């Protein structure tokens, strides 16, 4: 199987060993790397590390393949061909049909780290059953999970976080067997503990309505110091307050306030990690006038105070994301 053809347009191999392959994509404002491990025939485990706001457009249709994504850091948004908007935040999962690819996508916070499982259903079903020693109709299960929608979203499901966290921190040595076991555990969980009720309902709004909400979200975040009221935005984009709130929740899976707060904190994390700005300067830049409120909100979201986050980020800069994944850590 030629896995190279599965990766996004513009990807090129920058490192290849017997254990993994590193694909790199260059963007106008940054770059991304994808470190791929073949764990079983038909299944590829990929560690993603992107530092860019850009994304991908008009990806090739790849029938017979599905993709599982987990967001560890940052956020990701995409628009499907039918106009639906999908947004992934920290610890969210998506399960999607690569035969119905996205229309466009972006890494809205400028940073995205996570993992993907790329699965060729027919080949993977045989290898999974050979590994388990029993016949499980994985192709039927996957089809049921997608339920005709082409995508399943799992929001910060605590039942599977331990599986994923262990994939990010594989022990030194023996990565191949460890990844095989943990990948199998994750697929079995998805197969037998999830259902299509977790999928976002097919929205009953037109493309024009979705575009307005997208424009509103962009307006809210283009200058994080600027505070708009919902009434101002509703009037500017000729949409009622009720419709704005309803459509925003349908498109982004959260309220306008939750969305704005998340984007502010994600931007703050990126500034702390990549600039010499002080915590107070970062707080002001992302729209917090009170540093203590910023610190409290940041700690609630990231589990550590901004100062410690910045200190840890400096230490991490010398260690590539997924270093254990490429056999270096």
> 207-316, what's its fold?
Arc Repressor Mutant, subunit A (1.10.10)
Q: Which of 309, 274, 316 is nearest to 109 (CA)?
A: 274
Q: Which of 134, 125, 68, 66 is nearest to 97 (CA)?
A: 66
CA separation for the pair 179, 40 (Å, rounded): 9
Say yes or no: do domains 3-198 and 207-316 share a fold: no
Domain ranges of the chain: 3-198, 207-316
CA separation for the pair 213, 238 (Å, rounded): 11
Residues 294, 261: contact at Cβ < 8 Å? no
Predicted TM-score of the model (pTM): 0.70
CA separation for the pair 254, 270 (Å, rounded): 22
Question: Which residues does the chain have with pLDDT short of 50?
Answer: 196-206, 319-321, 323-329
Q: What integer pLDDT is reported at residue 320 of this predicted model?
A: 47
Element (H, E) at 40: strand 30-40
- Look up residue 103 and give its DSSP letter: S
Record the tokens describing residue 92, joined without a space. 């969210």
Q: Mean pLDDT in the chain?
A: 85
Q: What integer pLDDT is reported at residue 231 of this predicted model?
A: 92
Give the pairing of strands 76-79 and 85-88: antiparallel
Q: What integer pLDDT is reported at residue 32 of this predicted model?
A: 96
Q: Which of 73, 58, 63 is nearest to 273 (CA)?
A: 73
Report the greatest alpha carbon distance in the chain: 61
Report H helices in the chain: 121-132, 138-146, 158-168, 175-193, 207-222, 230-236, 241-252, 256-274, 279-285, 291-302, 306-316
Collect all residues with Cβ–Cβ distance below 8 Å to 82 and sequence separation of at least 6: none
State phi, psi for 45 to the nearest 5 degrees.
Answer: -100, 125
Tell me the CA distances in angstroms from 272 to 27, 54, 89, 242, 282, one per residue in order.
Answer: 22, 20, 19, 36, 7
> 3-198, what's its fold?
Jelly Rolls (2.60.120)
Q: How many residues does the chain have?
A: 329
Reduced to 3 states (helix: H, G, I; strand: E, B; else coil), residue 98 is coil
CA separation for the pair 190, 228 (Å, rounded): 40
């Amino acid at each position: 199987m030629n896995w190279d053809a599965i990766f996004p347009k513009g990807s090129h191999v920058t490192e290849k060993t017997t254990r993994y392959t590193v694909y790199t994509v260059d963007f106008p404002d940054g770059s991304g790397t994808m470190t791929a491990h073949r764990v079983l025939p038909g299944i590829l485990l990929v560690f993603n590390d992107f530092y860019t706001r850009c994304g991908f457009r008009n990806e090739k249709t790849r029938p017979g393949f599905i993709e599982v994504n987990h967001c560890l850091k940052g956020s990701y948004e995409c628009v499907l061909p039918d106009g639906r908007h999908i947004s992934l935040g920290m610890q969210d999962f998506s399960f999607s049909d690569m035969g119905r690819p996205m229309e466009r996508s972006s890494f809205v916070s400028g940073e995205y780290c996570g993992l993907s499982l790329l699965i060729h259903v027919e080949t993977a079903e045989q290898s999974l059953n050979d590994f388990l020693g029993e016949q499980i109709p994985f192709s039927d299960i996957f089809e049921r999970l997608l339920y005709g929608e082409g995508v399943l979203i799992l929001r910060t499901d605590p039942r599977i976080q331990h599986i994923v966290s262990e994939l990010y921190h594989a022990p030194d040595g023996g990565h191949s067997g460890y990844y095989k076991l943990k990948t199998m555990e994750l697929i079995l969980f998805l197969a037998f503990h999830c259902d299509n009720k977790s999928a976002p309902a097919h929205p009953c709004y037109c493309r024009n309505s979705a575009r307005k909400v997208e424009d509103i979200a962009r307006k809210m975040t283009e200058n994080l110091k600027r505070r708009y009221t919902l009434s101002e935005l509703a009037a500017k984009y000729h949409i009622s307050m009720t419709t704005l709130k309803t459509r925003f929740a349908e498109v982004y899976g959260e309220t306008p306030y939750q969305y704005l707060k998340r984007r502010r904190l994600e931007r703050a994390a990126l500034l702390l990690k990549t600039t010499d700005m002080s915590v107070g300067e970062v707080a002001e830049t992302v729209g917090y006038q009170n540093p203590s409120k910023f610190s409290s909100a940041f700690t609630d979201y990231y589990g550590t105070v901004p100062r410690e986050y910045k200190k840890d980020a400096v230490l991490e800069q010398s260690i590539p994301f997924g270093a254990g994944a490429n056999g270096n850590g």
